[in-house]
Chains A and B, each alone.
Chain A
Amino acid sequence: MPSIQSDIGFRRRRRALARCTFCAGGLALVLCLLRAAGLQGGEPAPWWSLARLEAPALPAVPARLAAGVRNPVDLFIRARLAAEGIEPSPEAGRETLVRRLFLDLTGLPPTPAEIDRFVADTKPDAYERLVDRLLDSPRYGERWARHWLDVVHYGDTHGYDKDKPRPNAWPYRDYVIRAFNEDRPYGRFIQEQVAGDVLFPGTRDGIEALGFISAGPWDFIGHEEVPESKIDGRVARHLDRDDMVVNTVQTFNSLTVQCAQCHNHKFDPITQEEYYSLQAVFAAVDRTNRRYDIDPGVARSRAALEGRIQSLAARRKELEGVIEGRAGPGLGELNSRISALEKSSAGSAAVGYHSAIEKGPEVAKWVQVDLGGVMPLGGVVLHPCHDDFNGIGDGFGFPVRYRVEVSADPEFKSGTLVLADFTGADVPNPGVRPQGIEGEGKSGRYVRVTATRLAPRQNDFIFALAELEVRVGAGRTNAALGRPVAALDSIEAPVRWQRSNLTDGWYPGAPAGSGLELAGVRAERTALLARHTRPGERVELESIDGQLAEARQGVGRLPAQSVAYVGSVHTGSGAFTGTGASGGKPREIRVLNRGNLLKPGGVVGPGTLSAVQGLPSRLEVAPSDPEGARRAALAKWLSDPRNSLTWRSIANRLWQQHFGRGIVETPNDFGRMGAKPSHPELLDWLAVQLRDGGESIKKLQRIIVTSATYRQVSDPSTHPSHGAGRLATEASRGGGIDSDNRLLWRMNRRKLDAETVRDSLLSVAGDLDLTMGGPAFQDFVVDKPEHSPHYEYHLHDPADPKSHRRSIYRFIVRSQPQPFMAALDCADPSMQVGRRNESVSPLQALAMLNDALVLRMSSRFAEKLERSGGSLASKVERACREALGHPLPPGDRKALAAYAREHGLENACRVLFNLNEFSFVD
């Protein structure tokens, strides 16, 4: 990991092996190096995952086992079982199958009516029709999107220090749900997430899918407070790109490319240069908000208008060039004056207005501008100061509480209209971000900003502001520019601090040349050019200007754009500028010696891995191409039918979610440190089905869940062995040889994941709100949002219906996991979770017993049962069927009814939610 080691680097020379912060290996590493060296003599067979992907021959199975085969999946499974002498298990009962399918495909339990419907359906294709119905349900996408979000480590906050919310992250989550529900071809699914803006321009999905690149954590301080000119700032950006690279390669190709950051990969054929060439693919992008049109028609209109504006502007420039050619040496002189002024204003010493200094914050101070006449206001923009005094920097002196008013009366004694009032609560310091306030058509001659709580400086308090901008009507010009400023008081310390700085056109991040003097010289220049413009040219210019205005108005009339948090070129101010200012030019990427930013090696261009058999690693991108071409090329490489890793990786992920375990047990690592496939031919067969079968994920899942393998019982010891007419023992089925069920001689019993538990609670209690999409619901109260938000889960009211939506729509805080969900092993969005941990612990039991949600849903479940009437015994029986999918044995049912009689139905419901049966599916 790059670090600020400088001269105090921790070089431990005794250690011959290169060391990095990403890879540990110890003895295994040495052994592997030796093995790798040994292999280099001949032409070694490629590692299984890198070999070309071809359809394997279907294996033959003994006739005895062939009878129960439903599709080729079973052939692969049974051939292997036969070889080991293990019997497969019989098909599970209908009540078991329907609960299994519902929870697996939709993440929700079946209602008793749905169970009855399936059990009563005697047609031979009843099972297949149920599968199709569930795959078509919108609930399917909500369930399977969650698995995907685990892998890409999606979250709704940034993580790290402060852990600020990321309010526009959800469009990506909705995109993933939509893509699963619409059965997006997998290749296109990849392409949209890596380069949708380039490959599918003008589409909503093409933008929203880019939330993949930005899904992971982001170091707010390392970007917003530390510029790229500092080493810590570069470290932050390097780590940020690393996350994008690792997310991409691990998600789509199941390789641990991060191990090649400090040296060539110790185990897999990935060079350090390849790692950095992948960084070069993402070298122009940051995590940022991006505007876009959801309606493709609007997107097209906008693109057409913007194209028109561009060509008109180009023609205008051309004409100007001709005219400038005639203007003579006077023009050159004016140009150099302008550029000198622009230069001086770029880092202007004229910081802003600064009030007198106070001992305490509770002193009201005002500053105002005189517009020269009563005008209808379009808006007011406050530009905060930047000053390094006391290390404060951005947002220096910006009031903690304030209001903005307009009046025709310079004293503000009459006819005062309030434009904005932030005097009721502290506002977070905005840094140098401009604070825009709507004018709402209110009119006046004087605009006044009154600070009612001053900003801290150094044991004292002040009010400072860089610029007060006022827009009139719908116009864009700043009517306050150069206008006189009055204030209650001012330190008047020219040139840095004086009243007139408030309307001098300069503020941090001001476009070059917005200053007052500059405006004058510009006007001179305009006049000079006007003198050299011929009548025909003037007509054309006027026509162009008219058309430009029309086109711009056309843009203004389009519906407002949506915003999504995605990986894209960022244009910013302060420390976090991004590459927008340079037109999205990718940052230079160098190979870092031992991953150390202070030891840069050669420059690398965009590229990818060379290890995949039969697929070139070179990305066809010219240095002059826009940055998006890099991502597009990588997206095509990742989705290439020849990329064996891609298709094997996704086939394995799907299989894993259906069986609880992948054919490869390490879904994020198909390298030498990962596990080997238990059924390599089956994996290849599945991967080829997906690749060559229209890339349809649903089709592949249909094959998997309709197989006899999937339909087996999970505990064969309780079922009579088919054919033999006797009870099979564990040993004869494989319990002795394969107690771990690696070979799938039975189905695996699944423990419900956190989301399924929560959604089931809500669903069974009758409170589940199935509204889809949109901003996340919050099951916490935010305290102290202005600095580091405290996400207080214990203050949330579990009765709040807004929080009764499916768990996929939960606002996911990175630093503070939701305690109930965390106790149930929900995914940690700080890391890519290919497979969740599954634990059983006392803290989990306490969560199920005592969490506010469980207690509330127990009450609601009881209310629902009461509403539908009947005897207590019938209520208890219904409750069992709702919560568990089947009735309890008579003795248990009686005991539960007796318990309900004595302690109330809600207590009985709480017991049902806490039973093992509720949390496991056979």
Chain B
Amino acid sequence: MNPRHPSPFHAAGAGPGPLSRREFLWQSGGGLGGIALASLLGGEGLLGGAAEPAGAPARPPGLPHHPPRAKRVIQMFMAGAASHIDLFDYKPDLIRHDGKPSDFGEHVEAFQDGLGPWMKPVWEFKPHGQSGRMLSEVVEDLGEVADELAFVHNMVGKTGVHSQATLLQATGFQLPGFPGMGSWVSYGLGSMNENLPAFVVLPDHRGFASNGPKNWDSAFLPSQHAGTIIYPGSETPIHDLFPAKGGGYVNARSERAAHALMERINREHAAARPSDGRLDARIRSYELAARMQLAAPEAMDLSREPDAILDLYGIRRNPGSWPKEINAAEERDYFGRKCLVARRLLERGVRFVQIWSGNDNGFPRRNWDSHEDVRRDHGPLAMGFARGAAGLIQDLRQRGLLEDTVILWTTEFGRMPSSQGGKGRDHNPYCFTNWLCGGGIKGGVAVGESDNWGYKPLQREKPTLVYDIHATVLHLLGIRHEKLTFRHNGVDRRLTDVHGEVIRDLLA
């Protein structure tokens, strides 16, 4: 975790004695025209409303295009390229031919030198659920929800370079400058709770994946549709949510009075300039900012979650310190916390949450780019995300939220069925796996097969591309992917570029 300095709101206020953050927030928020804090904190009153963030331009007309099956999305992104072969795509032929020289039947351009002998899956696979879904033992926690999951095993990328490939899965384009999927959803559907951002990103706490915030940028869309980075558990979970260090002179009372004074002066200023709606919008944005200061910490506060829920997500209540080496317990705890925060955000009306596993592709590996040793890196990372994801799916189900929430698990590409001479696998942009579950998704199925090796799709002329996945998710949200467009530098841009077909076999 990056050490982020403590908020001055956390320290003693300048008032008549120390204030806790919660007390501070109550007092400062209470001054904003008598807002009913209970409803803010609970969020229930605002969930159904179609509130529009201040200053937002009109959303594209005619939305939703058809009755939606889902309202919300969680995207889990495994940065560095997670191996389909070792997690989800069971290949008995690889076990039979383990160690024998690989033969792809054609020239293969490897990113590094990944054409060593065939290498069997690093872990055993076992069947799970009614559907008999084969899962690797490191993701066996997902067996608890095996019948909810729908797999796509014939995903194909366009490049074996991490940066371009990550952009492609995240934004639909392999060069920077295009909005993330969550930005498009925010633009298309807006917010369900104006006190929280519509699109939230929970990065790996150890650093950004390839391209960093370019993966969730608003690019040419209005900036409020950019993913808002949240670091749950940090003192400043959202940048500038509270006064930065050096703002010790700001306290609860000064803040309340400041808001009142600004509103007074701004209202007079705006009254003399009646034709400019931006002035009113900006006044309102300060109200919303104050409300976000209440709503965001509350949404991220896991302290009142019961033990059973923490256990379900693999979270330790008091984790203490972790060993230096990568380990499954730590990965479970961190990923589980992100998943639980994601649920709380969804409950409070956030539209799109993106959760990342894996930082930049450096060393020691805290990412999925296992050129050297699949077991060493993939093991803990997989056990970590599998617990959190399985917990999240069950928790959403028991709260009735799974039926209108789509969950998408993805990565930038897969890994080769051959080794690199040792224990690692090279990049495989020619084939990888995605899975989905939740609102409108048919559980317990697999559409699209890979070949015997997991090297390329079984039907090479019928691969699935990211455009199809994106089109399907938009479809579930009631959006026709061809119709959600934004004109930029002369081109009507869309998430799916000029491609994309809804994958009907995935739909319930």
Contact = CB atoms under 8 A, between A and B. Distances in A.
Nearest to B241: A846
A720 to B, nearest CB: 14
Interface string A902-922: 111011001100111101101
Given A232-B109, A830-B177, A851-B244, A815 B465 contact: no
B172 to A, nearest CB: 9
A458 B228 CA distance: 39
A457 B373 CA distance: 12
Contacts of A910: 250, 258
A162 B209 CA distance: 9
A749 interface: yes
B362 A784 contact: yes
Contact of A160 (B160, B164, B240, B362): B164
Interface in B239-275: 239-247, 249-250, 253-254, 257-258, 261-262, 264-266, 268-270, 272-275
Contact of A7 (B218, B253, B460): B460
Interface stretch (B32-40, B282-290, B398-406): B282-290
Contacts of A845: 282, 285-286, 288-289
A787 B362 contact: yes
Given A10-B463, A717-B274, A911-B262, A159 B214 contact: yes
Contact of B258 (A844, A851, A889, A899): A899
A459 B426 CA distance: 17
B220 A837 contact: yes
A872 to B, nearest CB: 15
Interface residues on B, range: 35 or more
Interface in B34-59: 53-56
Nearest to B283: A916
Contact of B158 (A5, A217, A892): A5
Contact of B224 (A5, A20, A388, A841): A841
Interface stretch (B298-306, B326-334, B493-501): B493-501
Interface in A1-34: 1, 3-5, 7-8, 10-12, 19-26, 28
Interface stretch (A316-324, A363-371, A470-478, A669-677): A669-677
B249 A907 contact: yes
Contacts of A390: 371-372, 420-422
Given A840-B281, A842-B54, A828 B258 contact: no
A388 B212 CA distance: 29
Contact of B275 (A8, A730, A842, A915): A730
A27 to B, nearest CB: 9
A65 interface: no
| Most chain A beta-carbon contacts within 10 A, residue among B214, B217, B279 | B214
B159 A850 contact: no
B64 interface: no
Nearest to B215: A815
A842 B158 CA distance: 38
B261 A24 contact: no
Given A5-B158, A892-B264, A231 B288 contact: no
Contact of A161 (B210, B222, B465, B482): B210
Given A232-B111, A889-B268, A920-B279, A844 B285 contact: yes
B181 to A, nearest CB: 16
Contacts of B372: 390, 458-459
Given A11-B461, A843-B197, A903-B257, A715 B273 contact: yes
Contacts of A903: 249, 253-254, 257-258
Interface in A191-222: 217, 219, 221-222
Contacts of A715: 272-276
Given A843-B228, A847-B240, A21 B197 contact: no
Interface in A750-765: 751
Contacts of B87: none
Given A841-B54, A842-B289, A916 B266 contact: yes
B159 to A, nearest CB: 6
A232 B240 contact: no
Nearest to A162: B360
A841 B276 contact: no
Interface in A805-846: 814-817, 819-820, 822-823, 825, 828, 830-832, 834, 837, 839-846
B176 A24 contact: no
B220 A831 contact: yes
Contacts of B457: 8
Interface in A607-628: none
B246 A798 contact: yes
B285 A841 contact: yes
A877 to B, nearest CB: 14
Interface centre among B176, B222, B285, B292 (most CB of A within 10 A): B176
A183 B161 CA distance: 43
Contacts of A834: 489
B452 interface: no
Contact of A916 (B55, B240, B279, B461): B279
A919 B244 contact: no
Interface string A360-399: 0000000000000000000000000000111101000000
Interface in B1-52: 2, 4-5
B239 A794 contact: yes
B361 interface: yes
B207 A790 contact: yes
A915 B265 contact: yes
B498 A20 contact: yes
A345 interface: no
B429 interface: yes
B249 A904 contact: yes
A831 B278 contact: no
A846 B177 contact: no
A914 B258 CA distance: 10
Interface in A870-911: 888-889, 892, 895-896, 899, 902-904, 906-907, 910-911
A718 interface: yes
Contacts of B461: 8, 11
A832 to B, nearest CB: 7
Interface string A93-117: 0000000000000000000000000
A673 B164 contact: no
A855 interface: yes
Contacts of A339: none
Contacts of A335: none
A270 to B, nearest CB: 11
A822 B223 contact: yes
Interface in B457-508: 457, 460-461, 463, 465, 482-483, 485, 487, 489-494, 497-499, 501
Given A3-B159, A673-B487, A751-B278, 5 more contacts: A159-B211, A794-B244, A830-B214, A837-B221, A842-B288
**Nearest 6 interchain pairs by C-beta:** A840-B55, A669-B490, A161-B163, A831-B177, A787-B362, A788-B360
Interface of B: 2, 4-5, 53-56, 109, 111-114, 156, 158-164, 173-177, 194, 197, 207-208, 210-214, 217-224, 226, 228, 236, 238-247, 249-250, 253-254, 257-258, 261-262, 264-266, 268-270, 272-276, 278-279, 281-283, 285-286, 288-289, 291-293, 360-363, 371-373, 420-422, 424, 426, 429-430, 456-457, 460-461, 463, 465, 482-483, 485, 487, 489-494, 497-499, 501
16 contacts: A10-B156, A161-B163, A161-B211, A217-B176, A222-B161, A232-B159, A456-B363, A668-B490, A717-B274, A794-B2, A815-B213, A820-B240, A839-B56, A840-B278, A842-B289, A899-B257
Interface of A: 1, 3-5, 7-8, 10-12, 19-26, 28, 159-163, 217, 219, 221-222, 226, 230-232, 235-236, 239, 250, 256, 259, 267, 388-391, 393, 456, 458-459, 666, 668-669, 671, 673-674, 714-715, 717-718, 730, 735, 739, 749, 751, 784, 787-788, 790, 792, 794, 798-799, 814-817, 819-820, 822-823, 825, 828, 830-832, 834, 837, 839-847, 849-852, 855-856, 859, 888-889, 892, 895-896, 899, 902-904, 906-907, 910-911, 914-917, 919-920, 922
